[in-house]
A and B are shown apart, each in its own frame.
Chain A
Amino acid sequence: MSKRKGKDAHLPVGECITLVQQILRERLCHQQLPDKPDGIEAQHKHLLELLKRTAVHGESNSVLIVGPRGAGKTMLLKCVLRDLLEEKEAQKNLLQVHLNGLLQTDDRIALKEITRQLHLENVVGDKVFGSFAENLAFLLEALKKGDRSSSRPVLFVLDEFDLFAHHKNQTLLYNLFDVSQSAQAPIAVVGVTCRLDVLELLEKRVKSRFSHRQIHLLSNLTFTEYLERVQTQLCLPDDFPDSKFAQDWNDSIQTLCEDKSVEEVLQRHFNSSKDFRSMHMLLMLCLSRVSVAKPAIKPADLLEASRLCFADAKANMLHGLSILELCLIIAMKHLNDVYEGEPFNLQMVHNEFKKFLQRKSNSMYNFDQPVIMKVCINMKPLSKFFLPFNSFPATRFLESNTLYCFRCSSAMIGRITVNIYIFCMKTDKFNIFPSKPITYTSCFSSPSGLRAPAAAGADPTG
């Protein structure tokens, strides 16, 4: 190996880059498990002990892993399972059933899935997939027949545990917990959820049967740890074939993390959320910019990636609108400001639009009511911005007296207008406003003070 390493010490840059992409993508996207859990050692130990007791001693248990999204709940569970299955005794015995509250949306589906994953359906042919009631009785019978010392322990992993609590009567949970509290086949129920109040969702008899073990995953991460984490995520491992390239890459990552602007961007991300998934997203965007021509991550890449991450989705949507649509949106926004968020109807929007035209009739053609309506229908996919106030079905959308609510914050629309203006100036789309585009923005009096400097900033360009 070392010989080969020596021989391949200088791979072509292209190959190196491909390798880097491969290694890092695996880390960032495939949720590759870390060798050992950082910062959650205690939880890891607790869970491992618990599951080991089920697997080895046949003790029934139930536990909940609770933590915010992206805190590493599933990662923890997977790590524990990996470590558990390294032990031969556990590996030979343990049966696993993985359920997800988003997939198994009711008990009937969940039961079928359990039966399938336990390979019980072969025992009785198609009979299992009879009625729901039969299925339940069948499964309970199967679990009841086992006992602590003789039957194989079953691990039930319930992802999105809180959704199971919404099933009718919580039949599945009751039965699982009941089995775990009685001398039947040994089972371990592991619930994974992000809801802190999950116990309040359980009915009291279900709750009483639950062992009340909760493993909380609340990361107490500081920024320096966060920074370290970024660095380790980007660094290449030691066994990278081209050691020189790896060295260069790691050095460049080192300098990247020490860069002031990069630190600022990361700080902002850290402030916004501590979870690793958003960080991975950011790093992934950076990584995709690495190419043969640019074989390292530069601070500019990170800034660009961050800009993409923080881009306001709704503002971006406005960029593709036609002038008429834009005008209508602005009219709606104006109405919204005037009536303080009260709902309005299409007629009012049209009137507002006409008012605008009267002032600046030279710049725009006076569209008829049907055209306005048609535009509004076309804008229906953009219902992020306004929605039928009393949620009429789509056919009633045509009626001019339908009330709409504007759904953008005024501050946002203020910025949007300016953005659009700048955008339009740049792309030279404003041939409808040939003379003085500045009048367009000034014709709306904005209550927001935020707009003023931005507009002022826009002025010189005009």
Chain B
Amino acid sequence: MKYFTRLRVRRVYKWRGEPLSFNRKLKTCEYSSLSISVEGLPRTTVISTGQHILIEGEDEDNPYVARVIRLFGDESGKQKKAVVQWFVRVSEVPPSKLKLLGREPHPQEIFYYQGRSCDDEVNAESILRPVQVRHLDGAAAFPDSDDKDTLYVKLSWDSKTFRVVDSAVVDSASAEPAPASSPPPRPKPSLPPSPPCSPPAAAPASRGPSRRALPTPDPAILRKASSGEVRYSRATMSAGKVATAAAAEAESLHSATKLSASKCLSAKRRNASARTPGVRKKLELSSPEKMTREDILSQLLDQELESDVALAQRLSSSPPRALPLTHSLTPLRKGSVCLKPSTVLLNKLSPSETESRDESSSPQQGDVMEAELPSGSVKTPRRRNATPRRKSATSGQQVTTPSRKKESKTLREPALGVLAEVDNESSPMLPAAATPRSSKRKSAQLVSSRIRKQLNLLESRQDLDSDREDEDEFVPSKKELQSSSEEEEEEAEAGLDSDDEVVMKKSRHAAAGSRTPRSKQKSRSSTRTPRKTPNKKVAPGTPRTPRHATPSIPSRSLPARQPANVLEEARTRLHVSSVPESLPCREQEFQDIYSFVESKIIDGTGGCMYISGVPGTGKTATVHEVMRCLQHAADVDEIPPFHFIEINGMKMTDPHQAYVQILQKLTGQKATADHAAALLEKRFSNAAPRKESTVLLVDELDLLWTRKQNVMYNLFDWPTRRHARLVVLTIANTMDLPERIMINRVASRLGLTRMSFQPYSFKQLQQIITSRLNKVKAFEEDALQLVSRKVAALSGDARRCLDICRRATEICEHSSADPSATGLVGMSHVMEALNEMFSSAYITAIKCASLQEQLFLRAVIAEFRRLGLEEATFQQVFVQHQALCRVEGLQPISVSEGLAVCQRLGACRLLLLEPSRLGVLQRIRLNVSQDDVLYALKAD
């Protein structure tokens, strides 16, 4: 890729072949491929739909990755466009979100992008060249190749979470261009005949044995399985995606579809995991003798129950309780009999029956899902319930299998997390997940499984319900996997959250299927939590070596003491750092800023706002509060997601560091100031796809002033760009800063959206303190009023007000050592605090000065009077001083001594002196008013 970018050659883009179709409304022609040739070179590169490509981005070394979905041009052929499916690089994921990954991302790793708010139409001219993208199974390790041109996909990224991505999404059309006949928006569903080394290649191969293993294959299923229809296998894959550990044998007999899928997957994994013997061993693990009978039974039981319950609901004909009860007996009976494939098979026939009944009972269901999917997909909602369990079983098994440990290190952490979850819930499939390490757990699980069995008998339905949800929670990745595969099916609705969409449709059409979708939806929302929790749990355990850059103050060995009495409590609450629940007295400002930023985010536009106000009026706090609210709104999907970045002019050493900090917070990159400026410029000016709005808070704006003002210019210019989607909020102290320090072009870009925070009035200050205290009764009303009035009169600085109150509580605490005082902070305490903070120490300092120093001050005033000026040289003052000494009857002091006295006064800044190297010629001024000096000396 460097080759291309470095040369900066002119590339020529041409359509290849005839247009496939012509859209009359839009007047666009679709093409199947595009050829890129470099001027002067004979070589041409062909880009066709379905291929993965690199697209020019802001970072030359890391161009965007995408897959071409559609190529089209306008009639004249001037405009060449491509519709693409984006992939995100590691560097494009916000660093804060990368933690969700729970492991170190591979440098060559990319994520299938599922987020919204991204423009999937790009200019074809920005295409650089094709690239090799390979799908890796979630468990597989990254191959150790130094081929920089191959990228790997494991997970998808929807700007909030990572999910496992289905291989078909990535690989179905990898490398091979889709045949011209296939409709471009939908990638060709069939598997490529022989994709080199791509995982799905294993799938057809594994189908052979699967068929062989079936004793009595259902012909319809068999046909479907062998037909190689991707959609079908995908749908089933969602059910049998992961090879089970415990009940693999039984499961394999369950249905052909499941078997083929699971085999496919295990084969795939075998492929990916470099053929370690452990895999083989693992598969053998599924033999019954390794299991306790109860395990299998409970699993079977669960499956049965689920399907039956689902059936019961769908039909809504029989009382919900009756069915499970009758059915639950069957597995038990079978359990007592030796576990034989035939019986299991027999038993497993019931689901297919229900299926057929399903179809008959809800004939419209088929075309709801997909026209081309008559029956296979109908199963999915129900099957889904069964699958997670097996997933968890496998993951547990992976942990136990020692030989796999090395390769699946990355996987281990989530798996462990899952285990932990499982443990908490004490679900029936635990024995499968039980590791040899924890025998205690195993026995506990056994017990719990037994208990569960009985519970199942009694209140199976209720239990099942929760059970299902639990299961869904355990294996969110599994769920995501399915949803991603579903998404594939619904790919026509690109950009929408297809997962929800599917659910919605299903819920609408399934006869009594409110249950399934509900639980599904629940699980969807809950998927996030378990995903996060394992990661969080694991994060501290991971070796910190690679993440050096952020050290912290060591944590304390002894815990901080909590406030003990009312005054301490009040002091804690009054500390400026304590974040209040709400910001009183700034409601109007809050509303204004909120609506400003919200509208910009929703519109996807940019803008600037200038906020001014004297220190301590809550500017930064209000903006932060707004951002918290907006972030919350974004979390619940009320508004599109956005980035919030904050820089502070005071927290950087040089105005140009602003670029560096913005870039680092935006992308995590580190760059020099110039480079960062260039990158940001590119980022904000290019019609870049998939861009979230960015809200940038610039605190202490005046410090970003440079002579050319280019930093400020850029900051205010970027929001005006069409594609920037940047909202800039600037904060400074002076109201007229734009007029005073900005040149016209900068000030004009800043615009006139201004807001000024007035200093707090005494009532507001009082309200602030009261709200902070929040019913902790520590102050007398009058005392509060005194403080707020005093502060409001002086500065209206809320910080000052809070500090005085804190000091007053301290004084109160000291004085209340004697029992006479009440517990409340009274007027006297507040007065003392006010005096301490506001009185100047000059007069006391003069009173406490030594005799010669006082005499010298007197001499200074005498000399000023004589000269009629406010300035004199030391020589002149010294003459006066000598005279005064004689008047006072003191021994006259030497010049050195006099100079020393003078210097001492100068050090306290009672006098202002010229540099002392001037000796007797240095000029002297008073730093206090003459009246103050005379007052202090007279009082003495």
CB of B650 within 8 A of CB of A152, answer no
Question: With an 8 A cutoff between CB atoms, is B550 at the interface?
Answer: yes
A182 with B576: in contact, given A149-B559, A310-B894 (CB under 8 Å)?
A: yes
Residue on B nearest A57 in the bound complex, by CB:
B561
Interface size class of A (residues with CB under 8 A): 35 or more
Residue-wise, chain A 82-122 has the 8 Å CB interface mask toward B (1 for contact) of: 00000001001101000000000001100000000010100
CB of B651 within 8 A of CB of A136, answer yes
How many pairs of residues, A versus B, come closer than 8 Å at their CB atoms? 231
Bound-complex Cα distance A148 to B572 (A) = 11
- Stretch in B437-445, B764-772, B864-872, B919-927 touching the partner: B919-927
A60 with B577: in contact, given A68-B908, A218-B844 (CB under 8 Å)?
A: yes
CB of B650 within 8 A of CB of A197, answer no
Q: Which residues of A contact B910 (CB under 8 A)?
A: 196
A151 with B921: in contact, given A268-B891, A310-B894, A313-B896 (CB under 8 Å)?
A: no
CB of B560 within 8 A of CB of A149, answer yes
Question: With an 8 A cutoff between CB atoms, is B491 at the interface?
Answer: no
Bound-complex Cα distance A133 to B650 (A) = 11
CB of A92 within 8 A of CB of B653, answer no
- Stretch in B194-202, B211-219, B357-365, B845-853 touching the partner: B845-853
Question: With an 8 A cutoff between CB atoms, is A205 at the interface?
Answer: yes
Candidates A133, A145, A209; contact of B550 at CB < 8 Å: A145
Residue on A nearest B854 in the bound complex, by CB:
A271
Candidates A57, A142, A208, A209; contact of B560 at CB < 8 Å: A57
CB of B920 within 8 A of CB of A205, answer no
* A68, A143, A169 pick with most chain B CB within 10 angstroms: A68
CB of A181 within 8 A of CB of B700, answer no
A196 with B555: in contact, given A214-B836, A272-B852 (CB under 8 Å)?
A: no
Chain A, range 333-381, C-beta contacts under 8 Å to B: 341
CB of B657 within 8 A of CB of A197, answer no
Q: Which residues of B contact A138 (CB under 8 A)?
A: 549, 551
CB of B907 within 8 A of CB of A314, answer no
CB of A66 within 8 A of CB of B841, answer yes
- Stretch in A242-250, A284-292, A404-412 touching the partner: A404-412
Chain A, range 194-237, C-beta contacts under 8 Å to B: 194-197, 204-205, 207-209, 211-214, 216, 218-220
Bound-complex Cα distance A142 to B550 (A) = 6
Question: With an 8 A cutoff between CB atoms, is A332 at the interface?
Answer: no
Question: With an 8 A cutoff between CB atoms, is A446 at the interface?
Answer: no
Bound-complex Cα distance A412 to B895 (A) = 7
Bound-complex Cα distance A334 to B232 (A) = 116
Bound-complex Cα distance A218 to B579 (A) = 37
CB of B845 within 8 A of CB of A218, answer yes
CB of B650 within 8 A of CB of A58, answer no
CB of A181 within 8 A of CB of B553, answer no
Question: With an 8 A cutoff between CB atoms, is B134 at the interface?
Answer: no
CB of B799 within 8 A of CB of A208, answer yes
Residue on B nearest A151 in the bound complex, by CB:
B553
Question: With an 8 A cutoff between CB atoms, is B807 at the interface?
Answer: yes
Residue-wise, chain B 891-918 has the 8 Å CB interface mask toward A (1 for contact) of: 1011111001100100111100000001
Q: Which residues of A contact B837 (CB under 8 A)?
A: 212-214
Candidates B551, B733, B896; contact of A123 at CB < 8 Å: B551
A316 to chain B: closest CB distance in Å? 9
CB of A150 within 8 A of CB of B555, answer yes
- Stretch in B254-262, B405-413, B875-883 touching the partner: B875-883
CB of A181 within 8 A of CB of B799, answer yes
Bound-complex Cα distance A235 to B940 (A) = 33
A55 to chain B: closest CB distance in Å? 9
CB of A58 within 8 A of CB of B907, answer no
Q: Which residues of A contact B572 (CB under 8 A)?
A: 57, 59
CB of B558 within 8 A of CB of A194, answer no
Tally B residues with Cβ within 8 Å of A: 85
Candidates A108, A175, A180, A207; contact of B651 at CB < 8 Å: A175
Question: With an 8 A cutoff between CB atoms, is A308 at the interface?
Answer: no
Bound-complex Cα distance A78 to B23 (A) = 84
A272 with B850: in contact, given A68-B908, A174-B650, A314-B895 (CB under 8 Å)?
A: yes
Candidates B614, B848, B897, B918; contact of A218 at CB < 8 Å: B848
CB of B703 within 8 A of CB of A169, answer yes
Question: With an 8 A cutoff between CB atoms, is A274 at the interface?
Answer: yes
Bound-complex Cα distance A142 to B552 (A) = 4
Residue-wise, chain A 51-78 has the 8 Å CB interface mask toward B (1 for contact) of: 0000011111000001011000000000
Bound-complex Cα distance A123 to B563 (A) = 33
Question: With an 8 A cutoff between CB atoms, is A132 at the interface?
Answer: yes
Candidates A132, A178, A196; contact of B845 at CB < 8 Å: A196
Residue on A nearest B844 in the bound complex, by CB:
A218
Question: With an 8 A cutoff between CB atoms, is B557 at the interface?
Answer: yes
Question: With an 8 A cutoff between CB atoms, is A384 at the interface?
Answer: yes
Question: With an 8 A cutoff between CB atoms, is A146 at the interface?
Answer: yes
20 cross-chain CB contacts under 8 A: A60-B575, A92-B557, A133-B653, A136-B652, A138-B551, A146-B552, A150-B555, A151-B552, A152-B557, A180-B577, A183-B577, A196-B910, A208-B615, A208-B616, A208-B800, A211-B806, A213-B807, A273-B901, A411-B879, A411-B882
Known A68-B908, A133-B660, A153-B556; further 13 A-B contacts with Cβ < 8 A: A60-B575, A89-B558, A93-B557, A133-B657, A140-B651, A142-B552, A181-B799, A194-B907, A208-B800, A214-B836, A272-B850, A274-B850, A409-B875
Among all A-B residue pairs, the 6 with the closest Cβ atoms: A208-B615, A145-B552, A123-B551, A58-B560, A218-B848, A271-B851
The chain A residues found within 8 Å of chain B, CB to CB, are 45-46, 49, 56-60, 66, 68-69, 89, 92-93, 95, 107-108, 118, 120, 123-125, 127, 132-133, 136-138, 140-143, 145-146, 148-154, 169, 171, 174-175, 178, 180-186, 194-197, 204-205, 207-209, 211-214, 216, 218-220, 268, 270-274, 310-315, 341, 384, 405, 407-409, 411-412
